[in-house]
Structure 1
Amino acid sequence: MPDIKIKRELLMILLELGKSSHPSEFLALLIKNGDTIDEFELAPGTITGSSSARYQPDMMPLGTGISGSAHSHPSGAIRPSDADLRFFPAVGKYHIIIGAPYTEDDWRCFFADGSPCSVEVID
């Protein structure tokens, strides 16, 4: 049984965001409704570069239901960095990392502690 579900359409959008942002990272905040991640918000005030993406948490609107994050690793590494492991707990439970070349196989989900999270992709 998966830990969480994600809408295929949302996953495809996140992969495209990674591709279109390359060689810089992108950062999005994930929204979960029920047991499914089905929305995202681009974090306001995000500063991106080739090795990091940062946002201003005090600029987030209240009550958005943020349950995690998604960001890209232009290097193609789809595992949490030390910086990711410091960031994850402040943003929610589920964290998707998308790596170059941004195909349907180039992503993984992790819990806030960096351990793998199983995800079912649904239509």
Structure 2
Amino acid sequence: MGLFRSSEILGIAESALEFALAASEEAHPNEYMGMLRGEDASNLGLDRDGTVLSEVLVVPGTKSNPVSAEFKPIHAPNDLSAAGSIHSHPNGVLRPSTADLGTFSRNHVHIIIGAPYGQEDWQAFDRDGEEIELPVLDIDPPEEEFFDFTQEDIDRELREEDNR
């Protein structure tokens, strides 16, 4: 069955889209580029089969200028939940270029964000470069535990040190 219960993309988390819009505006006049991480809808409390685009992954070493953005595939995160790509077009054109189409076959969905980077200044495409509807979902991605200890653990450790 694969990583996700269904490969159907149900939508993009509002927080992921907002991050990408802000990053695109900050990168202007250069292009912005990132990868989209997918999360099984059931892990987000949705009672549906499918995948939600939940986060934008920033790829180290991405090079960009006003007409392109690229990264070496070796620098891409080794992340099995990668489900798509997202990048900006500082000229505001919400259509894939020939170069964009050459990379679209690698994932399920691709989003282009255009200047001036507002809530309506983006369009999603399938791997063939055809426009698709992609709902924006008001969901909270699950919190990932970066550290495997809590504040209680720290306090306990400090008390033990004081008692030594």
TM-score w.r.t. length of structure 1: 0.92
Higher relative contact order (CA 8 A, sep 6+): 1
TM superposition shift of 1:58: 1.2
Partners of 2:75 and 2:55 lie apart in 1 by 19
* Aligned sequence identity (%): 36
User: What residue number does 2:11 align with?
Assistant: 5
Q: Which residue of 2 aligns with 1:109?
A: 124
Quote the offset at 1:62 in angstroms.
Answer: 2.1
In 2: Cα distance, 1:46 partner to 1:3 partner: 26
What amino acid is aligned across from residue 13 of structure 1 in structure 2? F
Listed as ranges, the gaps of 5+ residues in structure 1 are: none
Corresponding residue SS for 1:78: coil
| Aligned equivalents of 1:122, 1:98: Cα separation in 2 | 17
CA distance in 2 between counterparts of 1:63 and 1:24 reads 26
Over the residues paired in the alignment, what is the CA RMSD in angstroms?
1.4
Q: Displacement, 1:94?
A: 0.6
How do 1:32-51 residues align onto structure 2 when only pairs under 5 Å count? 32-34=38-40, 35-51=51-67
How many residue pairs match? The answer is 121
Please give the secondary structure, in 1, of the residue aligned with 2:35.
strand
Could you state the TM-score of these two structures normalised by the residue count of structure 2?
Answer: 0.70
Q: If each structure's strand is expressed as a fraction of its own residues, which one has the higher value?
A: 1
Segments of 5+ residues of structure 2 without an aligned counterpart are: 1-7, 41-50, 139-164
Q: Residue 128 of structure 2: SS of its match in structure 1?
A: coil
Write 1 or 2 for the structure with the bigger share of helix. 2
Partner Cα distance (2:93, 2:23) in 1: 16
Larger-Rg structure: 2
Cα separation, 2, equivalents of 1:40 and 1:115: 22
